[in-house]
Structure formats: structure tokens, C-alpha cells
Amino acid sequence: MERLTKVRFTNLDKVLYPLSSVRKLDIVKYYIKMAPRMLPFLEGRALVVTRYPDGVEAQGFYGKDAPQGTPDWVRLFHTYSEAAGRELDYIVCDDLDTLMWLANLAALELHIPLARIDKPDNPDIILFDLDPQPPTGMPEAVRIARLVRERLKERGLTSWVKTSGKRGLHVVAPLPKKDAFNETRAYAHKIGVELAKETGLVSSEKAQKKPGTIYIDYPQNSHGRTMVCPYSLRATPMATVSTPLSWDELDEIDPGRLRIDSVPERADPWSGFWRLNSV
């Protein structure tokens, strides 16, 4: 495999998901298969990754700054990080080699900012992160996702839905990069407040995760915050995936079955994401 890439692989037989027997080699192969679907969301963005070099049963760590020994062919974006309080070199994954290199680093989760590096202050994505608070679950999240879709349609935006890869849903819409983060964040908050009053099922205030509600995490639309990339793996025991869905299949979906071994066989319901900015 190394004859076909710049990457020098290490420990490919190492098991990173013990309960599902998924090796680093399986992760590399998965990202090779999914690269045509993932790269349009990864390219031109300053990534934040979560690495699990000792597997998902051990402690992982977030990576913003490119690690020591990063090859010179990996594109970097040098900028100030408010969270870190210093200048960082972010990884920009524009190609398959970089994606495979990230897999070799055991960067299982790939998180993307909602703006590209060419316009870092103008998001091209708005995110509604729907997080069910027990005893609510996926049925309630599906109901709220459809209501969010209606609100976005009223504003002329086409929305798309995916699993978070864990227990929630993400409703996402592409934007024309003319608004600032404070505007998209305020709009997401406004919809959350409206749905809280309308349904009694939504909590939308910052850090207010009420039991029995669907928490809409509107601060995720702030500058510097991220969304797990479509088709990224998650650090769950069974190697689940943040999986793009069609709206028609929402009622039947079981996020726990959307795993590294099953997702590549699915059609891509998000194939037109970047071609449509309005209905």
C-alpha cells in the first residue's frame, strides 16, 4: 500500500476498537473508501482531531496543533487560537494522502470548523446539534429535526441531516458565506427558543440540558467551534459513524447500526450538499 501513497504506515495490525476488533488497517481502508465523500467537507478547513493511539478504551486527546514530525507535504494553516491562547499550526486535509496520514495517527474523530480558512469569519455551514436528554431519545430528536428543517426552508435554506455518531442528530445547511458567526449563532438560538415555546420539548439556553428535552446546542455556531465531519468515525465501542441520512429514512434509523463495516455500502444522500444553497 505504501507504494501508492506518501504515508509511511506504522502498527497497522494494532486493534483500536477492541469490542469490534477494528484495527488501524481497517480504519485506513475505511477512510480510503470514504474519501470522495469526506474530502469536500474537509478541504480548506482547519481541523481539530481526536486521537486514540492506544485505542478507544484508553484516554484520547484533542489535537489542534500539528504534531512534531508532520511531513512537509501536509498543508498547515498558521493562526491564533483563542481557546489555546497562542499561535497554532492547524492541519488542512485537502487530499487522500493527508487523510490516510491522519488515520495512521489514530485520529479517529475528525472535527471541522463551520468556516473555511479563506473566510474564517464567515461560516458556510449552520449547525443544529440536537442532543436528546434522557428519557427522550431518537424519536423525539427526529420530530425536532423535522421542525428545524421547516424553519430553515422558510428562510430559503436546504437542510440535510446526519447522525452525530452517538445519540443525537445534526441538522445542517450550507450558507453563502456572507453572514458573520454572531448572526448565524443568533439565528440558531432564535429557532431553539421558538421551538422550546412551541413544543415544550426543547431546551436551548446555554448549558441548560434539561432532562426529558432535546437540547439544541446553538453555541456550536460560534467562531472556533466545530462539527464532527460527515462520515467521520466516533470513539465508541462499536466504531459508529456520523452518518448522513435522507429525510425519508429518519423514522427507521438505528444510529448504533451505522458502523465502519456498514456505512460504506450505503448510498450517499448528501451528494448534492454543496450544489444547493436554497430551495
Q: pLDDT tens across 38-96, in order?
A: 999 999 999 999 999 999 999 999 999 999 999 999 999 999 887 778 899 999 999 99
The C-alpha atoms of residue 240 and residue 263 are separated, in whole angstroms, by 9
pLDDT tier for residue 204 given thresholds of 50, 70 and 90: confident
Three-state secondary structure of 251-272: HHCCHHHCECCCHHHCCCCCCC
Predicted local distance difference test score (pLDDT) of residue 5: 84
Predicted local distance difference test score (pLDDT) of residue 88: 95
Residue 88 bridge partners (DSSP): 79
Alpha-carbon dihedral sign for residues 131, 133, 134, 138: negative
Other C-beta atoms lying within 10 Å of the C-beta of residue 276? 12
Question: Same topology for domains 2-119 and 125-221, yes or no?
Answer: no
| CATH fold label, 2-119 | DNA primase, PRIM domain (3.90.920)
The DSSP output letter for 219 is G
258: cell is 451505522
Predicted local distance difference test score (pLDDT) of residue 207: 67
CATH architecture of 125-221: 2-Layer Sandwich (3.30)
Average pLDDT across the chain, whole number: 94
Residue ranges per domain, the chain?
Answer: 2-119, 125-221
**pLDDT (tens digit per residue) in 4-41:** 789 999 999 999 999 999 999 999 999 999 999 999 99
Residue 244 bridge partners (DSSP): 162
**pLDDT (tens digit per residue) in 163-174:** 999 999 999 999
What's the whole-number mean pLDDT along residues 120-140?
96
**Confidence (pTM):** 0.94
